Amino acid sequence: MGDLRCDAAIIGGGPGGYVCALRCAQLGKKTVLVENRELGGTCLNRGCIPTKTLLHTAELYDEIKNHGRELGLLFKGAENLDGLGVDYDALAARKDRITEKLRRGIEGLIRGRQITLVRETAVFLGPQTIGAGGDRITARNIVIAAGSEPASIPVPGADLPVVFNSDGVLSLKSLPESAVIIGGGVIGVEFAALFSSFGKKVTIIEMLPNILNGMDNSVCETMTGILKKRGVEIHRGAKLLEIGDLSGKGLCVYEEGGGRKEASGEIVIMAVGRRPSTKSLGLQASGAVLERGYITVDEGLRTTVPGIYAIGDITGKVQLAHGASAQGLVAAANIAGEGGAGRGGAAKIRYGVIPACVYTNPEIACVGLTETQVKESGIPYKTGNFPAAANGRSLIMNASEGFVKIITHGETGEILGAHIVAPRATDMIGEIAAAMRAEATIEELADTVHPHPTVSEMIMEAAHDVEGLCCHKL
């Protein structure tokens, strides 16, 4: 057994762990990264990057198929675009190439920063010691960044071969003609957007009264309308009872409005949340405390055990790749004693300004509080809205169904939240997050000149609308 000693040992090489390792090394700490699969974690290998690669093609397909003629496109020799098809082998190969390229990039960064990469499963032997294959790693600080895995529900038939979780869907060798999606959360809605853009039949079965539960009502309503218009069947307040095999297809039996109903699809996608990957870590030997299965951490990402930190999905705080990376930077700053404004202070994560994105078509992006949350808190507030239908660039992009909505403090002008459904919403939300982080007022956002013609003008227009001074709206 090899003995390794270091300042920081990071367990898990996803967007939380590898970023934390890079920052620890940048701050002069001798760092070891332990990962038993590919670097990049769920995000790069089984999540964000592969799904967005598929979605990019789906959007192009949808736009050309449904708007090609109007856009002035023709294939040489063909009178129309009816012959347009999808070469899924080529698409899957592209997805794998992009993933591979990004993975090699991370490997290069890890090597370049002289981080020791141990490709094994890490198990705690004590609060400062972990075993990893034949190695015994003793570290002043340990960061647990082991992530999460898809959850399932204990209904009969949940383990049938037609039932896939998000990992399984991304490994499919061809596009299914139809899919029933259990769960209308982020993953369910992203897959619904993907398959419906490819012209496939999609049914969503969601237990709660709304899809995208927790998001601003305006977002839920708009996206429900957009998906329904695209032919997606959405059953809300619907509880899955069992899954059966109907000649190789999945038959989902569910309860809705007191009645027993059925929906079938070539595949069934289980998208009912993710659970923390705490099982194989030997956490008892670490002494770290769990709360509802997640590792308890403070704002500095410290667990209850000195020298042990936890970041990413395993903390249950924010199940987003960029949230995990942000947590990783905070943990690294605290390990190196480089946190806080004057350095040497304690770094803290600011969850309130981490944007959330859903990669549908058009995209959804949000930051801060929803209108319901603001209303319930009793804060005096104002809202400003601007519809995509009045934005030139959105019309050019065939996306007139979205909007930008900004919520501000009614007296101070502090920006409390923003909710966007629009093309490139996920690229735009960073601007509002930066404004909130810098504690800018709505007047300052409205005064910021936005380039024309862009989708981002909608932010400026919505900011003007908060004061009832939007020029492009009556």
Cβ–Cβ < 8 Å for 408, 466: yes
Answer yes or no: 452 catalytic.
yes
User: Judged by CB under 6 A, does residue 320 bind ligand NAI?
Assistant: yes
CB atoms within 10 A of CB 241: 15
The yes or no reply on residue 144 touching ligand NAI (CB under 6 A) is no
**Counting contacts by CB under 6 A, is residue 323 touching ligand NAI?**
no
Cβ-proximal residues to 97 (8 Å cutoff; 6+ apart), any chain? none
Give the footprint of ligand NAI on residues 104-123 (CB under 6 A).
Answer: none
Write the CB contacts of 209 (distance below 8 Å, at least 6 apart in sequence). 236, 237
Q: Which of residues 330-369 bind ligand NAI (CB under 6 A)?
A: 357-359
Both tokens of residue 407?
């919520």
Q: Least distance in Å: CB of 432 to ligand NAI? A: 16
Give, as ranges, the residues between 228 and 257 that touch ligand NAI (CB under 6 A). 239-240
Taking CB under 6 A as the binding criterion, the range among 25-33, 97-105, 139-147, 266-274 that sits at the site for ligand NAI is 266-274
Which residue in 67, 450, 452, 472 is the catalytic one? Answer: 452
* Min dist. Cβ of residue 392 to ligand NAI (A): 27
Query: Residue 242's closest CA among 232, 231, 229, 251?
Result: 251
Q: Cβ atoms within 10 A of the Cβ of 398, count?
A: 15
Distance of alpha carbon 80 from alpha carbon 467, whole angstroms: 48
State which of positions 410-429 bind ligand NAI (CB under 6 A): none
Which member of 41, 185, 402, 413 binds ligand NAI (CB under 6 A)?
185
Contact 297, 315 (CB under 8 A): yes
Residue 22 in the binding site for ligand NAI (CB under 6 A): no
Pick the stretch among 80-88, 90-98, 119-127, 269-277 that binds ligand NAI (CB under 6 A).
269-277
Query: 145 and 16 in contact (C-beta within 8 Å)?
Result: yes
**Applying CB under 6 A, does 374 fall inside the site for ligand NAI?**
no
Distance CA 229, CA 66 (A): 13
Distance CA 333, CA 345 (A): 9
Count the residues of the shown chain that bind ligand NAI, applying the rule CB under 6 A: 26
Of 94 and 239, which CB lies nearer to ligand NAI in the complex structure? Answer: 239
| Dist. CA 319–CA 214, nearest whole Å | 14
Q: How many Å apart are CA 57 and CA 65, to the nearest integer?
A: 12
Residues 6+ apart with CB under 8 A from 220: 210, 211, 212, 213
CB of 266 to ligand NAI, least distance (A): 19
Residue among 133, 244, 273, 410 that touches ligand NAI (CB under 6 A): 273
Which region among 67-75, 79-87, 94-102, 199-207 touches ligand NAI (by CB under 6 A)?
199-207
Interface contacts to ligand NAI, rule CB under 6 A: 47, 153, 182-188, 190, 205-208, 213, 239-240, 271-274, 319-320, 357-359
Residues that are catalytic: 452
